[in-house]
Structure 1
Amino acid sequence: MEKDNLAVVLHAQGDLRLEQRPIPEPGPNDVLLQMHSVGICGSDVHYWQYGKIGDFTVKKPMVLGHEAAGRVVKVGSAVVHLQVGDRVAVEPGVPREMDEFFKSGRYNLSPTIFFCATPPDDGNLCRYYKHSASFCYKLPDNVTFEEGALIEPLSVAIHACRRASISLGTTVLICGSGPIGMVCLLVAKAMGASQAVITDLSPERLAMAKELGADFVLTVNRGDRAQDLAQRVEGLLGAQPQVTIECTGVESSIQTAIYATRSGGVVVLVGLGSDTVTVPLINAAVREVDIRGVFRYCNTWPMAIAMLASGKVNVKPLVTHRFPLEQAVQAFETTRQGQGVKVMLKCDQNDQDP
Structure 2
Amino acid sequence: MSRITGSADIGSADIGSAVTGSAVTGSAVTGSVDIPRTMRASVLVAKGRIRVEERPVPVPADDEVLIQVASVGVCGSDVHYYREGRIGDFVVDAPLVLGHEVSGRIVAVGAAVPDTRIGERVAIEPQRPCRICAQCAAGRYNLCPHMEFYATPPVDGAFQEYVTIQAPFAHPVPDTLSDDVAALLEPLSVGIWAGRKAEVAPGSRVLIAGAGPIGVIAAQSAKAFGASEVIVSDPVAERRAMAERYGATSTLDPMTDSVADLGVDAFIDCSGATPAVRSGITAVRGAGTVVLVGMGADDVPLPIPVIQNRELKVTGVFRYTDTWPVAAQLAAAGQVDLGSLVTGRFDLDHVEDALNADLAPGSLKTVVYL
Normalized against structure 2, the TM-score is what? 0.87
The answer for the alignment partner of 2:98 in structure 1 is 64
Name the aligned partner's letter for residue 345 of structure 2: R
Q: Secondary structure at the match of 1:264?
A: strand
Shift of residue 82, structure 1, vs aligned partner: 5.3
The answer for the alignment partner of 1:350 in structure 2 is none
| 2:222 corresponds to which of 158, 169, 188 | 188
The answer for the alignment partner of 2:352 in structure 1 is 329
The answer for the alignment partner of 2:46 in structure 1 is 12
CA deviation digits over 1:221-278, x for unaligned, max 9? 3xx6xxx6224xx4xxxx4211110111111111011111112211111112121111
The answer for the alignment partner of 1:217 in structure 2 is 251
The answer for the alignment partner of 1:320 in structure 2 is 343
Between the two proteins, the alignment pairs up a number of residues equal to 336
Shift of residue 207, structure 1, vs aligned partner: 1.3
Indicate conservation of the 8 Å contact 1:10/1:61, yes or no. yes
Q: How does 1:106-255 map to 2 (within 5 A)?
A: 106-221=140-255, 229-231=258-260, 234=261, 239-255=262-278
Normalized against structure 1, the TM-score is what? 0.91
**Following the alignment from structure 1 to structure 2, what is the Cα–Cα distance between the partners of residues 77 and 220?**
55
Shift of residue 67, structure 1, vs aligned partner: 0.3
**Following the alignment from structure 1 to structure 2, what is the Cα–Cα distance between the partners of residues 304 and 318?**
16
The answer for the alignment partner of 1:271 in structure 2 is 294
Indicate conservation of the 8 Å contact 1:251/1:279, yes or no. no
Indicate conservation of the 8 Å contact 1:97/1:112, yes or no. no
Is 1:41–2:75 an aligned residue pair? yes
**Following the alignment from structure 1 to structure 2, what is the Cα–Cα distance between the partners of residues 335 and 74?**
35
Q: Secondary structure at the match of 1:62?
A: coil
Change (3 A) 1:112 1:82: farther
Gaps of 5+ in 1: 348-354
Instruction: Quote the RMSD (CA, aligned, Å).
Output: 1.5
Change (3 A) 1:62 1:185: same
Higher helix share: 1
The answer for the alignment partner of 1:287 in structure 2 is 310
Gaps of 5+ in 2: 1-34
More contact order relative to length (CA 8 Å, sep ≥ 6): 1
**Following the alignment from structure 1 to structure 2, what is the Cα–Cα distance between the partners of residues 120 and 241?**
41
Identity %: 42
